Amino acid sequence: MTISGALSNALSGLNASSRTADVVSANLANVLTEGYAVRDISLASQPDGRGVSVVGITRHVDNALLGDRRLADSALAAAETRTNFAAQIERALGTPGDPGALSTNLATFEADLVTASTRPEESNRLQTVVQDATRLAESLNSISDEIEGLRSRADTDIARTVDSINTGLEQVSTLNIQITEALFNGRATAPLEDQRQQIIDGLSEFLPLRQLPRDHGAVALVTTGGALLLDGLPAKLEFEPSAIVAPHMTLENGLLSGIQINGNNVNIGGDRGPLAGGQLAALFDVRDTLAVEAQSGVDAVARDIVERFQQAGLDPSLAPGAPGLFTDAGATFDPANEVGLAGRIKLNTAVDPDQGGALFRLRDGLGATAPGPAGNGALLQSFSAVLGENRALSSDALGPTARSAAGQIATLVSQAAQDRLSEEQTLSFATTQASELRSLELADGVDSDAELQRLLLVEQAFSANARMLQTIDDMMQTLLGI
């Protein structure tokens, strides 16, 4: 071997050791960095036998595992959204027996009617009936307001999510271009690919995405439902948020916005739609299905209470068609206007002294113009009895089974608890799946022990090549000194 050949080998070895040390140190520095993929340097001997050359730096990613983990993250985000909604509905209805719960307020009102019927001449007992009847109506109002608020927040979150998706797609498109340019110019692309992976990871919580390889390091993005969101140019998602979301407003009647992709309407219903499976679909599910069903259940309970006291013959003092003890915002309830009734149910002002009414009408009839016999508790007894009657709901929200008023509320509360439990089971499965896949992904990440071992080998190689240079220098000095 010539001196020049030995020098070339040593210098190339030093360069390879230096580049390897850079890669190892970068791996160690990013051991806790989210989205960082471990790097490995590829070396090859020079064709002429004069040392070693750096072929390139390889970024190691298990694309199949990455894709599965993203789908699991998407399912987890959807499950969290639905579970949070179910828990809020159950909390709004309250736990039976707790102060302020819907069932507790009804039970208190029923007990007040029984107490007042035994001593109908005592105005304080009648006043208690008015107060607790008002509290019952207000609890239904509050639950309806909570559901309306949840729908409104879901609508706002949809708008925010759509903006985030559009921004993310544009960023991935830009990174595709930058990665392609870097490849053509011989620059490292790994940092850009890390950044792109992090952005796609964020997008995968909103939508279940599949990443498809394209030429020159670019990628395309498509949902598992078949919606192409990025292939060269990014798609544009459009959504029009609503200032308010009232109970009667739905996607079906055109009062709430759906999703458009590049100007085309997209079906967002069902489990197999183009955008089904992620947090975005779950938000639509909350706004257009889950909350609507919850509103229907509460409206059905409100209608049951109103119709029990509005039935003909219960209060002989009322004219035909007049509102009963509970009203639809002060008017007689029309069965065609059931939607949103829980938010409008009010106590008839005829019995409320604070609103120009009189307590004696609870005892003598809502249509009474003057007090009757003070000891007559028949109407109060009828009010109490009508709440205990088993009757089927006029609407289908809680099924056809005949129940008392308390039984209908118990069914509503039980249904909410079952829904919450079911969503929690789905969330538990999704959490476990996502956690396991992330653990598998992390196992393929930076192994600090292995990297430190590599660093020791790099140190040895660097030392050996440096010693070779020192030996060549000594030889040259000896030859020049002859």
Give the three-state DSSP class for 44: strand
Q: How far apart are CA 111 and CA 105, in angstroms?
A: 10
pLDDT-wise least confident of 36-45, 283-292, 358-367: 36-45
Share of the chain above pLDDT 70, in %: 98
Structure tokens at 25: 């140190």
Tell me the CA distances in angstroms from 139 to 106, 298, 395, 406, one per residue in order.
Answer: 10, 11, 21, 14
Q: How far apart are CA 97 and CA 388, in angstroms?
A: 18
Give the pTM: 0.89
Q: 11 or 327, which is more confident? A: 327
Q: What per-residue confidence (pLDDT) applies to 284? A: 96
- Cβ atoms 364, 379 nearer than 8 A: yes
Q: How far apart are the first and last CA of the chain?
A: 21
Please give the biggest Cα pair distance in the chain: 139
Q: Per residue in 421-452, pLDDT tens? A: 999 999 999 999 999 999 888 887 777 777 77
Q: What per-residue confidence (pLDDT) applies to 68? A: 95
Calculate mean pLDDT across residues 117-134. 95
Q: Per residue in 213-270, pLDDT tens? A: 999 999 999 999 999 999 999 999 999 999 999 999 999 999 999 999 999 999 887 6
- Cβ atoms 186, 235 nearer than 8 A: no
Residue 340 has pLDDT above 60, yes or no: yes
Q: Per residue in 25-38, pLDDT tens? A: 877 888 877 778 88
Q: What is the DSSP letter of 391?
A: B
Q: What is the DSSP letter of 338?
A: -
Calculate mean pLDDT across residues 467-471. 78
Calculate mean pLDDT across residues 450-463. 79
Q: Per residue in 54-71, pLDDT tens? A: 777 778 888 999 999 999
Helix (H) or strand (E) holding 237: strand 237-238
CA angle 314, 381, 335 (to 5 degrees): 35
Q: What per-residue confidence (pLDDT) applies to 1? A: 57
Q: What per-residue confidence (pLDDT) applies to 482? A: 67
Q: How far apart are CA 359 and CA 123, in angstroms?
A: 7
Q: Per residue in 162-194, pLDDT tens? A: 999 999 999 999 999 999 999 999 888 888 999
Any idea where the domains of the chain sit in the sequence? 3-60+446-481, 67-434
Q: Which of 327, 320, 337, 322 is nearest to 306 (CA)?
A: 327
Calculate mean pLDDT across residues 293-306. 97
Q: How far apart are CA 268 and CA 286, in angstroms?
A: 12
Calculate mean pLDDT across residues 279-286. 96
Q: How far apart are CA 343 and CA 326, in angstroms?
A: 13
Calculate mean pLDDT across residues 348-358. 94
Q: Per residue in 199-214, pLDDT tens? A: 999 999 999 999 999 9
DSSP 339-367: TTHHHHEEE-GGG-GGGT--THHHHH-TT
Q: How far apart are CA 190 and CA 171, in angstroms?
A: 16
For the chain, the average pLDDT equals: 91
Q: Per residue in 383-428, pLDDT tens? A: 999 999 999 987 788 888 999 999 999 999 999 999 999 999 999 9
Residues 6+ apart with CB under 8 A from 86: 290, 416, 419, 420, 422, 423, 424
Residues 6+ apart with CB under 8 A from 278: 74, 75, 77, 78, 204, 205, 206, 207, 208
CA angle 308, 311, 315 (to 5 degrees): 100
